[in-house]
A and B are shown apart, each in its own frame.
Chain A
Amino acid sequence: MARMATTKQVAVSTAAAWLFGFLIFFPILWMVLASFKTELEAFAIPPSFLFFHWTTENYATVQERSDYLHHALNSIIIAGGSTLIALLIAVPAAWSMAFSPTKRTKDILLWMLSTKMMPPVGVLVPIYLIFKTFGLLDSRIGLVFILCLGNLPIVIWMLFTYFKEIPRDILEAARMDGATIGRELVYVLTPMAIPGLASTLLLNLILAWNEAFWTLNLSTSNAAPLTTFIASYSSPEGLFWAKLSAASTLAIAPILVLGWFSQKQLVRGLTFGAVK
């Protein structure tokens, strides 16, 4: 009897999880479906779910009108570059704060987070002028720089919490066995920190990939990533949902695939420390 109840519970919770997952995924699914509709069907009321005239003409139009690969390459460089540099700065910073904290560590952490509390538009004009002075407008390096700075507080915070979860006793045990700092780092700490590092990397990559304020405002054509590619398909006068959906589907495809393949790391990293 108890066993049956458990099975039932499992079934119910599984169904609930699937339903919840489906609800979360639905907007993306709807976008993908809309990208295969004609403009009129994409706007039709009542909307048709699967039974419509499937067409790939939106993808053809998007391909014809925009250079997807140019934008995608920019996105990869900007998101990847900013993530790597952020990690290079954040790992030592978080490491030192987690393993040899000082009196001011907490204040520094809070101060870093406070920089995220100001809306970016508040500093748009100063940043624009700085970029103009240094010739960074519409350059990939400028965007790498600004996105790296923007995400750095989050990266440091995430890594700090992961590193704090690593028991110091393990380090001490390694030292007792005669491990040097180098060996301790490579063979003891790194394997334990990998899930945390991986999920931070992936989250930061997603944040940088989707960042639409700075990328839209500081790029024109040379450095324009996929966010500007999507923005170019919204129209004040004329139907555009199907083409916009096609552009959005193309824009999220790489990050979706990456997320799919690394979801194991991501889940492990995000729940790191919860189960000891």
Chain B
Amino acid sequence: MKHVLGAVCGASVLLLAVPAMAETTLTIATVNNGDMIRMQGLTGEFTKKYPDITVKWVTLEENVLRQRVTTDIATKGGQFDVLTIGTYEVPIWAKKGWLVPLANLGADYDVADLLPKIKDAVSADGKLYAAPFYGESSMVMYRTDLFEKAGLKMPEKPTWDFVIDAAKKLTDKSGGTYGICLRGKAGWGENMAFLSAMANSYGARWFDEKWEPQFNTPEWKTTLTTYVNLMKEAGPPGASSNGFNENLALFNAGKCAMWIDATVAASFVTNPKDSKVADKVGFALAPNTGLGKNANWLWAWNLAIPAGSKKTEAAEKFIAWATSKDYTKLVASKDGWANVPPGTRTSLYENPDYLKVAPFAKLTLASIDAADPNKPTVKPVPYVGVQYAAIPEFQGIGTQVGQQFSAALAGSMTVDAALTAAQSQTEREMKRAGYIK
């Protein structure tokens, strides 16, 4: 028995032994999105430039990554040197001292070239805490052929009235075409991203200046009633379980006349390899109600360095490389301009080569410019963020509210009941967190 145990321990120790390396090894945590996978594929170019740095990738599903990285950073585990995080996390984590400010990105990095809205979203107290890798807003993607057939013309800045009317006209349930596809799956980053942005365009807000939840206001009632009725009349069946990917599949298969979602989807729906309707897609700004706010969000995936990392110098070199103008050129030379990470730099939207292959570029930029995380809605708010409120409690609250709204869409509860439940749940959480008494 002793021998067996000894052998097992010995074998385990041997397996543990990792050869000592003189060079710096960076561990980078990221999500499985096309642009990140491309970056992973181009790691060789980075290590060619910096031969003393090796790179290890940890790719995880978004929610798993969030939990994994939060645990590590909160316990100062030091398992990661570069993190991929969203605009939601940056201000919260920066405030907690969990991120290292990026002060040495190099002379040729050109911070001024970053899109101002995106740069704002990843800065705190005037310091850059993360570098944007790709940015996105949301917009309307629509089928030009179906619009033409129905004698409709999509304005560049459509109103909700127009979108609702068009969606009803374009619905042909027996033929399997639906007027509009929208997110319904519960989650703060799923249906609530869309619904918060939509609510902004109707003048609603998550909290008033004193952090009181606002689901009992007429603006939220109008938003949710409009959404539920629209989806009942012109949406696909089972919409309450549709997220980005489900709607992407539906749109690509020609089942949706309109889809309001992330601008990054534009390159997917116009790619003939994946989309049946690649040459029949038009773009427009997210709808408004004339109150001065469009129903579009602002999001960016960013690279940041956790405070626990002992390799900040090498990590900063990597971040500077991956978010530089040269990286964009590198991707363009390997995979073409249509595949460069969008939404972070002004220079990209002035590049004729990019504008030629990306018919959605102009609207992506206009959408990003139209979203203001510091002034997301018509009335003043105490929080930062368009489709979220950048407070640690929001993930939990957002998902709870999302579940109520998803249930309202599925028909298992009324709009009023969903709003009442959302209000009381949010009030309880905000009281517990000490924002209100």
A interface vs B, CB < 8 Å? Answer: 39-40, 43-45, 65, 77, 81, 84-85, 88, 124-125, 128-129, 132, 137-141, 144, 216-217, 220-222, 224, 228, 231-240
Contacts and interface: CB of A to CB of B under 8 A. Distances in A.
Contact of A221 (B4, B56, B76): B56
Contacts of A65: 37, 40-41
Interface range on chain B (Cβ under 8 Å from partner): 35 or more
Interface stretch (B63-71, B91-99, B106-114, B150-158): B63-71
Top 3 closest pairs, chain A to chain B, by CB: A232-B59, A43-B249, A234-B61
B366 interface: no
A216 B40 contact: no
Nearest to A46: B176
B75 A132 contact: yes
A228 B75 CA distance: 21
B80 A220 contact: yes
B32 A232 contact: yes
A226 B275 CA distance: 31
B75 A125 contact: yes
B79 A137 contact: yes
Residue among A144, A233, A234, A238 with the most chain B CB within 10 A?
A: A238
Interface stretch (B11-19, B286-294, B331-339, B381-389): B11-19
Interface of B: 1, 4-5, 8, 12-13, 15-16, 18, 27, 29, 31-34, 37, 40-41, 56-62, 64, 67-68, 71-72, 74-80, 189, 244-245, 248-250, 252-253, 255, 262, 264-265, 268, 274-276
Given A88-B4, A220-B79, A221-B58, A141 B13 contact: yes
21 contacts: A43-B252, A125-B71, A125-B74, A132-B77, A140-B16, A141-B13, A141-B15, A216-B68, A217-B67, A217-B68, A234-B32, A234-B61, A235-B33, A236-B31, A236-B32, A236-B61, A236-B62, A237-B265, A238-B32, A238-B34, A238-B268
Residue among B12, B13, B18, B76 with the most chain A CB within 10 A?
A: B12
A84 B8 contact: yes
Given A43-B249, A88-B5, A216-B60, A236 B244 contact: yes
A139 B16 contact: yes
Contacts of A132: 75-78
B16 A88 contact: no
B18 A222 contact: yes
Given A65-B37, A140-B16, A216-B64, A236 B189 contact: yes
Contact of B60 (A77, A125, A231): A231
A129 B79 CA distance: 12
A52 to B, nearest CB: 14
Given A84-B8, A141-B16, A237-B262, A39 B58 contact: no
A228 B60 contact: yes
A237 B253 contact: no
Given A40-B252, A233-B32, A236-B32, 18 more contacts: A39-B274, A40-B249, A43-B249, A81-B12, A88-B8, A124-B71, A125-B74, A128-B75, A129-B75, A137-B79, A141-B12, A220-B58, A231-B61, A232-B60, A234-B32, A237-B262, A238-B245, A239-B249
